Amino acid sequence: MSITTREPEPFSSKLTGGKQIVPTVVLPDGSVLGNPALHEVAERLGLPAEPQARFADVTIIGAGPAGLSAAIYAAREGLETVVLERGTPGGQAALTDQIENYPGFPEGIGGMELSNQLKAQAERYGVEIVLAEAERIESDGPYRLVRTVGSEESNSWAVLVATGSDYRRLGVPGEEELIGRGIHYCATCDAPLYQGEELVAVGGGNTAAEEGVFLTKFAPKVTLLVRGDKLDASKILVDKLISSTKVEVRYHTVVKEFQGDGMLTGIVVQDTESGEEETIHPAGAFIFIGMIPNTQFLGDKIELDDWGFVVTEGNLQTTIPGVFACGDVRAGSTKQVASAVGEGATAALMIREYLKARADQFVA
């Protein structure tokens, strides 16, 4: 397998002594905060830590592409809109070095750049973006209350849950430091970066099997590392995977460590039967072991599927009337930036219809 050096050490790593700490905040006075608490950032930047308006037409939880797109559409409909975000606006997209498959950008666009443009557009229409973490959603007659950690509540007629999800990580040494520098979690997003180079994929389920085959569109060889003694995927996907001459499946194999200084250079793997370890040298590694939806704050009040994603009706409404969901947090979503933006716009229009149908109840 080949070793490829693509880019110099990212700017954020230089600020944090070689570590990739997300988020890394550089303040106007030149000081640097690594993964700071929300209140610390708010205090240092003079940002509100709770909504200035005690009531809004719509409260959106999450300032990723889905949430910001919904905010833009809602505000353009004349709805007073508050967005609660616990971290960096942009969500997973903001942490992606380059987004190559978002329509309208033939040369690609940086994830942070796209996120900043969405944020600026939302603010242009009067959307208030507040640094706050949702703790729970409550109902009080026609009102929907979003209580936040360390604050009071954001009151509105409707709530949109757009908190996204996080890729499940292996949790081995070197992984955090090399995310986006040879370690990836989305084949559709990043596989084209490795045209003609050998890759490793990790996982044994449907996603790993499907994405493993997808990687062969770009890589001459894909080595799939499977912890168990078989693939836990549908027969159709398994047959398709093992019939590919470009895929090698290694069972009873786990990752012990990712190696590299700014870029991935090696992966230490172990045979769980023999205990033997070796270091392999792919150009990149793709981890497909599932996703963790950010739904912990919902408790048992909203129906979730078996994997913890929010179940919605055709109009994107949840099991609580007036509470909607869109984007990566929603069961059945495609986990792509373009579709998240589309769902955000759709959710805003569905909320508009919800409010119009109940206009006689909503007299503030």
Domains recognised in the chain with CATH numbers: 45-167+292-357 (3.50.50.60), 176-287 (3.50.50.60)
- Is 186 among the residues known to form the active site? yes
- Is 57 among the residues known to form the active site? no
B/e letters for 221-242, b = 16+ CB within 10 Å, e = fewer, are: bbbbbbeeeebebeeebbebbe
15-38: per-residue pLDDT in tens?
555 554 556 777 667 777 766 656
Using omega within 30 degrees of 0 as the cis cutoff, is the peptide bond preceding 142 cis? Answer: no
- Is 189 among the residues known to form the active site? yes
What integer pLDDT is reported at residue 350 of this predicted model?
Answer: 98
Catalytic residue among 57, 190, 326, 328: 190
pTM score over 0.75: no
Tell me what the mean pLDDT of segment 93-115 comes to. 85
Catalytic residue among 186, 300, 306, 328: 186
H/E run at residue 345? helix 337-357
Share of the chain above pLDDT 90, in %: 65
- What 3-state class would DSSP assign to 236? helix
- pLDDT higher than 90, residue 277: yes
Distance of CA 194 to the CA centre of its chain: 22
Measured distance CA(342)–CA(70) in Å, rounded: 9
Tell me what the mean pLDDT of segment 279-299 comes to. 94
CB–CB of 249/219 below 8 Å?
Answer: no
Catalytic residue among 57, 189, 326, 328: 189
- What 3-state class would DSSP assign to 148? strand
pLDDT higher for 213 or 54?
Answer: 213
Using the Cα atoms of residue 32, residue 36, residue 41 and residue 43 in order, give the sign of their dihedral.
Answer: negative
The tokens for 88 are: 């960096």
Measured distance CA(322)–CA(258) in Å, rounded: 45
What integer pLDDT is reported at residue 5 of this predicted model?
Answer: 42
